[in-house]
A = this chain, B = another copy of it.
């Protein structure tokens, strides 16, 4: 299968690399990192880069499109760039699965791909997603027809394992999980707003809202 992972300046590395690693481990997927302009892509932390090996003109179809997210407000540039949105629309016409990780669903929404549907994104971006006409839900992986949206950052790993199971069968997905030794044992159980201390949730929500105003 042909996978296109869209990159843009200010992307969150793990949003892209989580699904990449799952699809790569199947040894049945050709993954391409694609951006408006190929070359180095600055990470949202400003402490490193990913690399787009292809520009939009070189990739006009994909079986799976992955649109990763970013720290606020880095989504604003792709959300307001017609070249990017048109490329997403073009690829979406050709896909079996169109997917997003984290607030990548804001970008899918800006491309008119999520209008009126139920989708997820990073918990800190629910209001923004709703303002774009998409109905947010706090499930970790949301499948609506061929569109699959995932929650914040790390959830792209879970999403990609689901898609691998749907496409290649449960055994291949379990095999990938085993290769990646994805047997999560975080030291705490604070990975969602429902589970984290309420004060911490509000602190981080406030911080992300401040970032969005930049």
Residue A1 is within 8 A (CB to CB) of chain B in the complex: no
In the complex, A188→B22 CA distance in Å?
14
Instruction: Indicate if A110 sits at the interface (CB-CB under 8 A).
Output: no
User: How distant is the Cα of A150 from the Cα of B193 in the complex, in angstroms?
Assistant: 27
Shortest beta-carbon distance from A34 to chain B in Å: 11
Q: Which chain A residues in 152-192 approach chain B with CB under 8 Å?
A: 152-155, 157-158, 161-162, 165, 170-171, 173-175, 177-188, 190-192
Residues of chain A touching chain B, judged by Cβ–Cβ distance below 8 Å, are 12-14, 17-18, 20-21, 24, 30-33, 40, 43, 45, 47-51, 53, 102, 122-123, 140-141, 151-155, 157-158, 161-162, 165, 170-171, 173-175, 177-188, 190-193, 195-197, 200-201, 203-204
Given A14-B21, A53-B49: A204 and B190 within 8 A (CB)?
no
